[in-house]
Structure 1
Amino acid sequence: MSDKKKDKAELTKTQQVEGKLNAFLGNNRKIVLAFCIVVILVIAIVAIASSVNNSILNKQFDQIDQLSTTYSEIQAADKDAADYQQKVDDLVAQLTELASKNKKYPALKAQYLLGMQSFDEKDYQKAMDSFLSVYTNASDSYLGSLSLSNAATCAENMNNDALALEYYTKLIDQYGNNVAESPKALFGQARLQEKSGNVELAKATFQQLADQFPSSEFAKLARNKLVLL
């Protein structure tokens, strides 16, 4: 078949397809129009919802910034002041409300601050529960490793060395040397290993800390411990 005949055949097929499409659109004009309207409405609704969600999230970021500042101010305040407890109660109420909203950063930071406030009040179980909640929902962020480290500290304050060692070990296993809490976790791990009588393992962990974080304050403590063990 010559090129001209091929081109003519292709043109005929194209015309046939266009004719069928035009016929379909003509016979189903109302259906097609309704479908287009639905698609446009869906796109509009999604855009509006996205805009609303972004606006809400931005407000939550502003709120957690303000609450973080309030928390810092309360830490520096006179605990014997007449309005101190009222300020704490107001802060806790606002943090609790924000923490219940979703699993975004502002809500997670609110939950973390609730843990810090409970820790300040020496309610270590409540603090640990808050920290573990944050860790569960933000394990891939800095809040996750920080909360797991704080949970270990809470366990130690409750004299639960086994649980504290579990959390310190989990932090090292999960995050390695990649987070700021790693030296503290290694030092805590070594201390508790020594406390439980596993001196050789403790020495190895202290040495690991000294080798991997030589400029850390915890490494200096580890080197001192190695001299004594």
Structure 2
Amino acid sequence: MAKIYDEKTATSTSAKIASGLHKYRKVILYTLIAVAVILAALAIASVLKQRKTDAGTIVAEELQESYAKWLQASDDEKASLEKEVVAKADAIKAKYRGTFPHQRALLVLGNLAFEKSQWDDAQKDFAELAKEYPKSYLAPVALMNQATALEEAGNNKEAVEIYQKVFDTYKETSPDAPRALFSIARLYETTGQKEAALDAYREVADSFPDSDWTKLSRDRIIYLETH
């Protein structure tokens, strides 16, 4: 049977709701004000973050331009330009930590040190970038550069460890993974560890059958197995 509308009951219910709203009007008002303040704060924070991001992008581009000028400069010009590059990079590191401009600053400082054959400084900057931003596309790039700097410094054992880290961590995502594994094999070969080198070369071929590094690995496998 359909429920019959009761005007008295409806009126009573409406009165109770109205009474409740009146009783808690201050609580409701304060809640609405708090929500409005939070939303406003979030909007302001979003705008400020975007402005910081935009500003960071600009200074990162200016840093890259200064570094490019340093690369092309004459020996007489390099000293003053180097100071400019380092000052800009340090300013970014201080103000934009946790952002892409900070990554760029670390990469530029590492590249600068590498170009000057300052292997220890270079590998430290690259290591910091990879450690602070392991999910960045620059992380495997930084690790490869770090390993190369370690090689240049004669620290082949540490270089192998870093190349292995690139392979283990970024095998599925980085185009540098096959080169990292090939580099491990190459270092084993140059230090007389023939069997270890063969194992690494074979792993390159097995893991990356379509890579250009696989052809080089197969050539080395043939050479080592016949000599």
Q: TM-score, normalised by structure 1?
A: 0.85
RMSD: 2.5
Distance 2:71 2:11 in 1: 77
Which among 134, 139, 142 is matched to residue 134 of structure 2? 139
* Superposed counterparts of 1:145-164, under 5 Å: 145-164=140-159
TM-superposed CA distance for 1:213, in Å, is: 5.2
Give 1:75's aligned residue: 71
The AA in structure 1 aligned to 2:110 is: G
TM-superposed CA distance for 1:13, in Å, is: 7.4
Q: Give the unaligned 5+ runs of structure 1.
A: none
Q: Is the 8 A contact 1:95 1:111 kept in 2?
A: yes
TM-superposed CA distance for 1:215, in Å, is: 5.1
**Would the alpha carbon gap of residues 14 and 146 (structure 1) be closer, same or farther in structure 2, given more than 3 Å must change?**
farther
* Superposed counterparts of 1:29-40, under 5 Å: 29-40=25-36
Give 1:97's aligned residue: 91
**Would the alpha carbon gap of residues 13 and 134 (structure 1) be closer, same or farther in structure 2, given more than 3 Å must change?**
farther
Distance 1:74 1:38 in 2: 53
Give 2:53's aligned residue: 57
**Would the alpha carbon gap of residues 53 and 178 (structure 1) be closer, same or farther in structure 2, given more than 3 Å must change?**
closer
**Would the alpha carbon gap of residues 94 and 21 (structure 1) be closer, same or farther in structure 2, given more than 3 Å must change?**
farther
Distance 2:23 2:106 in 1: 59
Q: Is the 8 A contact 1:183 1:213 kept in 2?
A: no
Q: Give the unaligned 5+ runs of structure 2.
A: none
TM-superposed CA distance for 1:136, in Å, is: 1.4
Matched, 1:47 2:43: yes
Q: Is the 8 A contact 1:112 1:130 kept in 2?
A: yes
Structure 1 residues 171-206: Cα deviation after superposition (integer angstroms, max 9, x where no partner) = 111111531212321121101222444312211322
**Would the alpha carbon gap of residues 19 and 126 (structure 1) be closer, same or farther in structure 2, given more than 3 Å must change?**
farther
Which among 198, 203, 216 is matched to residue 203 of structure 1? 198
* Superposed counterparts of 1:182-201, under 5 Å: 182-201=177-196
Q: TM-score, normalised by structure 2?
A: 0.86
Query: How many residues are matched?
Result: 222
